[in-house]
Structure 1
Amino acid sequence: METFSTLFSTVTLFSLAATSAVAVIAGPFGTYETMSLATRTTYWGLAISIGLLVAYLSRATMATLFGERRPLLFDLGASLMVSTIMAPLIWGLRAWLDPVLDLQHLSLPSIALNIFVIAVGIFVLRRQIGLEKPAGYRGINEDDKVPQTRLHRRLTTLDGAEIMRLSANDHFVDVSSDRGVETLRLRLGDAIHEMDPIEGICTHRSHWVALSAVVGVEQAGANKTFVILRNGDRVPVSRKYRPRLVAAGLLE
């Protein structure tokens, strides 16, 4: 959800239009010589639009698998996914719109390699200019580390994970993070107390969320409200706790 939230932003649409225009005018990869202006416009418009969607899908997939803690695997994995999906699509699109081209010279591995190199360059550039976090591949800066709380010391499978939500489950607490869920034998109130210094808020008598994990609010009907977290969780908001979310600026 966080990844696809910028799909129709002004920057994304402008980038799509600008790159399409440049590709149509320049005609790279031999398209200037073998395609008419109308055909180039169709080809590059489709190729770049599909590539944009595949890139978003790849970023969302890597964010789900690795989060923001493994930037090298994130970028390499996303680039490989883009090239694997896009290569046969580009091959088929070129064969369809450029029948004059000798298909024997249209090598699928070559297309995949070109796409991979371009994708790697884009992902690396985004990270170096600060559009991705953490920047660089040398590890995580001190400022980027997930704050460790007393509750982290109780975790066995989520060591170092970013805790996003706490939910009461009888005499247990489900601890949801960017790497999964772990259940602890603990009261919800005690678990919340051990989350200091991470700022959070109770949305329901059985639910607490970290403010840094909130990416949106969903209204389902007249009386049902949910807080949306970065890991995709939908956390209910009860009427009693609604004023607290209003005070925190999450609700009007």
Structure 2
Amino acid sequence: MRQTTDPARESPPAAVGASPFADDPPPSLRQWLRNLAIAAAAGAFMALVGAMDTSRLPLWHRLLYWVPLTMAGGVLGHALALYVAKIPHARLNPWLFGTILTFAIAVPATFVVWGYTGLVVGDWMPITGLPMLFIPVLVITAAMTALMTALNWPGRVTHAPAPGATAQPVRLMERLPPKLKGAAIYAVSAEDHYLRLHTSKGTDLILMRLADAIAELEGLEGAQTHRSWWVARDAVESAGREGDRAVLVLKGGVEAPVSRPNVKPLRDAGWF
């Protein structure tokens, strides 16, 4: 579920040195365990609300039914996501990725739900009822896939012009306040409805959404390292940790957080 690294981003930045995350568990294992825990929590929620007409069962019975079922769905989703991620367009578009993965999971999951319901609840649905069972399975699968994709999809990437290409103006530069005109942009961070611009001439706030700002930063090589941060690659001086959180130390001493889905893509691209 990781976006393919652009070749232009593969040369390591200066002064970063060895990765401080070398002793971490493999990101795929950490991600896998977290996703499994989320699936188990979703199963517990389904049991508490008595989803799909299971409210007639006692709570312990609903937990026995829903928690293993959603965890099995998590295992199935993890395995199928590896194959869907090999589809070139899907791995670049979270909406397409999620749609394909939802249907890929829902079809076999319908048979799993049918068999497990018969074994645990003793309610064997006629095989002719499978098309009707597919609909609620598809809805639940879509919700879980959307949640998992949102939690695990890495941030957006902006690109510098290819070698020899004509450089286009970076549109966000036109929005710089007067005191920051002509400055190099190091990072952009969200603060409520405002964005803080971190530059070579200091910082200031502008009223704008981060998603719109990232679109206007195209032309500068950088990446969204966190849901509320975009960082220019040339601004990174080192990488480190603040507790259990990964951070990038930028020029001027600012520390930008790196969320877990972004650690591996940035490491693979040579950011640290």
TM-score, normalization by structure 1:
0.47
Q: Which has the higher contact order (CA 8 A, sep 6+)?
A: 2
TM-score, normalised to structure 2, is 0.44
